[in-house]
């Protein structure tokens, strides 16, 4: 089984790279699917799970949000519980045995016994803002300033959660096999090159 | 003209990658050649130039070494003068117009007007020590402990010189197009994948 993990700065195009890579390699692809499974298993709302795990992070359990969400079940899970469930879901994916690309959620560390190929994706702030603005819907009404703040908050969270859970630094190049700066790339043009690296990596090990 | 620059941690295999990449791409290759040219132009000893620029760095001009080296000419150049000459030599290479791979010496920043493709190569300490031990001659009599200290000193120097000369952080992934961790790779196996990235990069720009 071959597992590729992608960790990424918000807006760097890491998710698009993951999707395209999975398509080119003919691997399964996991991203929001993990959130949906956690929500299903814990009987919570996927938006709640997403917000707790992705946007608000480790330290601040968003009580107001928790109270405002109408979950199909009455139990709302705290962040630690959701993180434990997330770990379980990711381990289940690996046990399933299919080749796959997993985006985010510290899968590189959680699945290290499976020797995944780990990619980190970064980009310059301006490039990330440009990428997000292109993808934003009109009614999101995002300004570059708002986006920049959002970007910094989310990355800070990702960094914090990783530091606490894994003791391994987020974005530090020694913790990944390859780190790609997408600033001057179209993800579409970059993907075949990354596919080659992944193929050589797994070819090397066989 | 296509320029590839390789910055690297000591012992990470960056130099070997540069050489192999130049061979595969059929590009000119510059590494120690730059030192030899500086020595030739300034009438100093190549070992002197190498030691000043590579091993002892920016702040400590190795006076004892300078006095002990018998240069063919009597003039010994100070580090700032050698750095200026290095800059000139690297710019000359670019003006020459041939496709090339340049290892080290902040060529990525010095030649940024030529839009080079910039690679950073890193590896875990243990992997770097292993690589160095394999390449060391018996009479070097290096122990892992000595190597580790040497490694740390050289990388500290590279970092310092870059910080002072360029204001751009050495080894920070946003400053390179791709950062490769060679810990679990044979450079030989890795090279074709890097060649693909380089080719796609320059293909993209045409």
Using the Cβ of A197 and the Cβ atoms of chain B, whether some distance falls under 8 Å is answered with yes
How high is the mean pLDDT of chain B? 85
User: In this structure, what token pair is assigned to residue B201?
Assistant: 């990069």
pLDDT at A65 over 50: no
Angle (deg, nearest 10), helices B144-166 and B125-135: 110
pLDDT of residue A145: 87
pLDDT at A72 over 60: no
pLDDT of residue B55: 57
How high is the mean pLDDT of chain A? 85
Q: What tens digit of pLDDT does each residue of B26-61 get?
A: 999 999 899 999 999 988 888 888 888 775 544 444
User: CB of B183 within 8 A of CB of B127?
Assistant: yes
Interface predicted TM-score (ipTM) of this complex, two decimals: 0.84
CA distances from residue A77 to A41, A42, A67, A136, A164 in whole angstroms, order as listed: 11, 7, 11, 30, 19
Distance CA B191, CA B88 (A): 30
pLDDT of residue A191: 94
Confidence of residue B138 (pLDDT cuts 50, 70, 90): low
Q: Is A104 left (phi over 0), alpha (psi -120 to 50) or beta?
A: left
Inspect the interface and report whether the beta carbons of A173 and B120 lie closer than 8 Å.
yes
CB contacts, 8 Å: B179 with chain A: 173, 178-181
CB contacts, 8 Å: A7 with chain B: none
Q: What tens digit of pLDDT does each residue of A44-56 get?
A: 888 888 888 775 5
Q: Which residue of A has its CA nearest to B177?
A: A181
From the list A193, A200, A204, the residue facing B200 with the nearest CB is: A193
Q: What tens digit of pLDDT does each residue of A118-137 get?
A: 999 999 999 999 998 888 77
Quickly count: other Cβ atoms within 10 Å of residue B113's Cβ.
8
């Amino acid at each position: 089984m071959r597992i590729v993990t992608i960790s990424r700065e918000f807006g760097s195009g890491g998710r698009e790279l993951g999707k395209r890579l999975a398509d080119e390699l003919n691997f399964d692809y996991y991203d929001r699917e993990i959130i949906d499974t956690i929500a299903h298993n814990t009987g919570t709302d996927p938006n709640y799970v997403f917000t707790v795990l992705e946007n608000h992070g480790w330290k601040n359990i968003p009580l107001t949000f928790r109270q405002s969400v109408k979950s199909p079940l009455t139990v709302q899970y705290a962040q630690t519980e959701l993180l434990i469930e997330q770990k379980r879901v990711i381990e289940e994916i690996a046990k399933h045995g299919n080749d796959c690309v997993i985006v985010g959620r510290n899968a590189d560390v959680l699945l290290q016994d499976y020797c995944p190929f780990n990619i980190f994706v970064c980009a310059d702030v301006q490039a990330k803002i440009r990428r997000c603005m292109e993808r934003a819907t009109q009614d999101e009404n995002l300004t570059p300033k708002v986006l920049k703040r959002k970007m910094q908050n989310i990355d800070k969270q990702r960094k914090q959660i990783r530091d606490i859970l894994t003791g391994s630094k987020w974005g530090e190049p020694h913790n990944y096999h390859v780190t790609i700066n997408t600033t001057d790339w179209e993800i579409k043009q970059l993907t075949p090159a990354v596919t080659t690296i992944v193929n050589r990596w797994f070819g090397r090990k066989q």
